[in-house]
Every structure is written in structure tokens, then in C-alpha cells.
Amino acid sequence: MKITVMTRDDRFFSLDVEAEELVENVKALLEVETGVSMPLQRLLYNSRDLPNSSTLRSAGVIEGDLLILHTVAPSPAPAPTPPGNNLSLATDGSAVDPRALQQHLRSNPEMINQLLQTNPELAQAILGDDLDALQNFLRQQHLHKLELQRQQQEELALLNADPFDVDAQRKIEAAIQQKNIYENWEAAIEHNPEAFARVIMLYVDMEVNGVPIKAFVDSGAQMTIISKSCAERCGLLRLLDKRYVGIAKGVGQSEIVGRIHVAHIKIGGKFFMCSFTVLEQSDVEFMFGLDMLRKHQCSIDLKDNVLRVGGGEVAVPFLHEKDLPEHVKEHYEAMSSEGASTSAMAPQGAHLPKKASVPISERQLPVQAAPPSGVSSEMETKIGKLMQLGFDRNASLQALQLFNGNEEQAASYLFGGF
């Protein structure tokens, strides 16, 4: 493990030692590094003098800890510590003189850079102006160390327990599992830190009927959706076909008030034809769904962070977080204030972000009168062909009736291409 030793003359030394290393051996290393002979060294940890015969583990020293090296004067009575320059730590882990400790750490850029990499929260507390925040962080770190020491003592007790004790074996199994989980988390922090970052959904700038909007691109939504209020703002409610009512189900549900069969949308300077399902209420104003993504041969390019439309003819960048709609930014800010996003520095007790309740809709056929009981043989044949494509009988019959028996148009409608 790595520990840092700070001398009274503001020098810092990083040592790579074993947890079972004797304090005496650590002092021998420091004698080489500092030139101070072992008899004149006093090694302090949490204001406690570490005896030469103890090990670092038994003294409670763990990875990343800071030790203070005092040089004992050869005179019988050591000089008292000047007031206002006490770098010791109290028994609760806080600094005796936080201002002096902060100034000493700030005066060493190399140490600050090292802390920014190994312990960024401590580095931010040192660089900040809030001494109470620094003290609270030091106390929390001290409590965390005490908890680790308690766990280590429990592990030692388990190792010395009766090997045939069922409860002891169960606790050993739980300890091994927890250790594996923690090692897996550490590996993720090192090799896959992006997994702990907040994921921003994909939005692009579009114009619907000449009105600029920020469209949510969702390949998991079967239909392209527009809210009733957004459709009204875009001047499209006059085209609303109220025969296409129903319920959009997914993560939650919303009432479908109708369908707008065709309107112009502008993406990256080019115009495209688009049809929308209109929802009474929706978490998003406009959702560019899979039906229109397929129709216009779109591809989501996460490498270049763009949406390509028309087989790559047009490429529009996905919006940054600062450019998202206000209600979306408020949602992310609320998640952060509630502690919903995971923190790489504090895995215990962290809350995973809630899944956004964006409706992933299923295509709804227009509500019509019940089909007549008598169906011609020609219509039965067309229904059979559509059923072979995976659609149920009622949906196939309604689609054929909607397009006056044209099975190609009915199939295109059922596949979502219309």
C-alpha cells in the first residue's frame, strides 16, 4: 500500500510499503529519504506516536494515509510547537489547526496533484475556503478508517474461529463475497469510470411545421410522438385525426388523442415528411421514434455524436446538457440534488438514478365499429397473408378495411412505415 509522510519542514515522501511492515522498518526507509537518523524520528498518526515494534496494520494505517514525521531535538527538552502552526490531527480525525494544515498542503503543488488523482474530494476540500467542510471530510475519513479496522478485526476473528462452525463459515462466505464485490467496483473505477457518470439522453434540434423544437431521439419507441400542447404550438391540431385514439403503453401510459398523418419536419437544413401520434400528456414534447428513424434511414452515430438522416445525407449533432430543454435539465438537477446519481468516491449508500418514465408506445389502430361477421373469401386470403407476417386477425382486418383492401398499404401501416 502507499502512504504519505510529511515532515515539519513541508517535505512530502510517498512510500510503498506492506500493511504488515514494522514501524521501525518504515523509519529506516525514512532515514534514507530524509537523512534524519532513526533515534531522532517520531512518527505520528492521528496525534499518536507509533511505537517501533508495532505494524502499520495494527496501528490502523491504511492505503493513502498521511503520517507526520517529527524530528526529536538532541536536547533533553524538545522545543514546544509554535501556536497557530500545529499540523497534528485530533482523536476524531480532524485537524488541530485546520488553517495551518491547509496552508502547508497548499504550499506543495506536487502533493496537491497527487491528491487530485488519488483522493480528489480531499484535494477539493484543501483547495476550498470552507474549513468546516475540510474538518467534516477528515472526520468522515477517520470514521471510515475505524470501520475498516473493525472489519479487519472481524475477519481475523473469523479466521481463528472453529472451522466446523456453520455461522462462522457463513460469515466467511459473506466476507469473501463482499470483498469480491469491492474489488469488482475498484476495477470498474480504474478501467471503466464512464459507468459512474450520468448518462444524458439523445436530443437534436428540429423544426416541425416551421417551429423549432428539441426532439428526443428514441430508437426504443415504436411510434413518433408529439404532445398535444406541442402540436398546438406547431399549428398541427387542425390536422388531428381523432379516429386514431387509444392508449400508449410502456413505462407508464398516456391517452392517444389522434394522429397527424403527414407534416414537414426540418433536420439540418433539409425537409422530410413525418407522421405523428398525438398524446394528451407526455414527458417529452416530441419523440422521434423508430417508425420515422426507419422511414428516413437514420443512424445513431455515437462515435461522432451525431444523428445521420437520409442514409447519411444529413448529420445533426446531439445536444449537450446545457442545450437541453428546461424541463429535462430540471429533471437531471432534481436527480442530482436527491443524490440519485452514483458517486465513484462513495459507493456505499448511493442511490442509482431512476429510469426516466418515457412512454415506449405500442401502435394503436383507430377505434372503429366491430367488423361484420361475414368476410369475403378474398378478404380472408389477404388476412391470412398478413397473419403469416406475424399480425393478429383483428389488426389485419382493420388495416385492410382502412385501406380498402389494399394489402400492401395495410402491411406497410402495420409495420409502422406509414
Q: And the C-alpha cell for 418?
A: 406509414
Whether pLDDT at 204 is above 90: yes
Residue type, 245: V
Give the model's pLDDT for residue 309: 92
Q: And the C-alpha cell for 129?
A: 475556503
Whether pLDDT at 348 is above 50: no
Between 52 and 389, the more confident residue is 52
Mean pLDDT of the chain: 77
The string of pLDDT tens digits covering residues 254-294 is 888 999 999 999 998 899 999 989 998 767 789 999 999 99
Q: Where are the alpha helices (DSSP H) in 234-273?
A: none
Give buried/exposed letters for 198-208 (b at 16+ CB in 10 A, else e): eeebbbbbbbb
In degrees and rounded to multiples of 5, residue 203 shows phi and psi of: -125, 145
Mean pLDDT of 152-180: 74
Residues in the chain: 418
Give the model's pLDDT for residue 356: 33
Q: Does residue 219 contact residue 233 with C-beta atoms inside 8 Å?
A: no
Mean pLDDT of 217-244: 89
| Percent composition of the chain: helix, strand, coil (DSSP 3-state, to 5) | 40, 20, 40
CA atoms within 13 A on the CB side of 390: 2
* Alpha carbon distance 116, 396 (integer Å): 63
Instruction: Specify the pTM.
Output: 0.45
Give buried/exposed letters for 316-346 (b at 16+ CB in 10 A, else e): bebbeeeebbeebeebbeebeeeeebeeeee
Give the model's pLDDT for residue 335: 56
Q: And the C-alpha cell for 304?
A: 461522432
Q: Does residue 23 contact residue 53 with C-beta atoms inside 8 Å?
A: yes
Do the domains at 2-160 and 377-415 have one common CATH topology?
Answer: no
Judge residue 381's burial from the number of C-beta atoms within 10 Å of its C-beta, 0-12 exposed, 13-18 middle, 19 or more buried: exposed
User: Under 8 Å CB-to-CB from 252, ≥6 apart: which residues?
Assistant: 357, 359
Mean pLDDT of 295-320: 91
Give the model's pLDDT for residue 320: 87
User: Under 8 Å CB-to-CB from 88, ≥6 apart: which residues?
Assistant: 44, 47, 68, 81, 95, 96, 97
Give the model's pLDDT for residue 39: 81
pLDDT level of residue 158 (50, 70, 90 thresholds): low
Mean pLDDT of 38-52: 83
Give the model's pLDDT for residue 301: 92
Whether pLDDT at 306 is above 90: yes
The string of pLDDT tens digits covering residues 380-408 is 888 888 887 777 787 788 888 877 788 87
Among 273, 208, 241, 266, residue whose Cα is nearest residue 366: 241
Between 274 and 153, the more confident residue is 274
Q: Does residue 97 contact residue 86 with C-beta atoms inside 8 Å?
A: yes
The catalytically annotated residue of 16, 92, 162, 218 is 218
Q: Where are the domains of the chain?
A: 2-160, 163-191, 203-327, 377-415
The answer to whether the Cα torsion of 352, 358, 364, 367 is positive or negative is positive
Least confident residue range of 78-87, 252-261, 345-354: 345-354
Give the model's pLDDT for residue 243: 86
Whether pLDDT at 343 is above 50: no
Q: What is the maximal distance between C-alpha atoms in the chain?
A: 115
Least confident residue range of 156-160, 306-310, 340-344: 340-344
Give the model's pLDDT for residue 374: 58
The answer to whether the Cα torsion of 278, 279, 281, 287 is positive or negative is negative
The CA–CA distances, whole Å, from 326 to 285, 322, 323, 366 equal 12, 9, 9, 34
Query: Which one of 1.10.540.10, 3.90.1300.10, 3.10.20.90, 3.40.50.620 gives the CATH number of domain 2-160?
Result: 3.10.20.90
Among 299, 259, 293, 290, residue whose Cα is nearest residue 276: 259
Give the model's pLDDT for residue 6: 82
Whether pLDDT at 211 is above 50: yes
Most confident of 109-118, 173-182, 294-303: 294-303
Our answer to whether residue 218 is catalytic in this structure is: yes
User: Percent of the chain scored above 70 by pLDDT?
Assistant: 80
**Torsion angle of C-alpha atoms 169, 170, 175, 178, degrees rounded to 10:** 150
Mean pLDDT of 117-126: 79
Whether pLDDT at 304 is above 70: yes
Q: What kind of architecture, by CATH, is found in domain 377-415? A: Orthogonal Bundle (1.10)
Just give the CATH number of 203-327: 2.40.70.10
Mean pLDDT of 232-238: 91
Least confident residue range of 20-29, 226-235, 285-294: 20-29
At which residue does the C-alpha cell 423549432 appear? Answer: 212
Give the model's pLDDT for residue 161: 66
* Alpha carbon distance 401, 405 (integer Å): 6
In degrees and rounded to multiples of 5, residue 35 shows phi and psi of: 80, 5
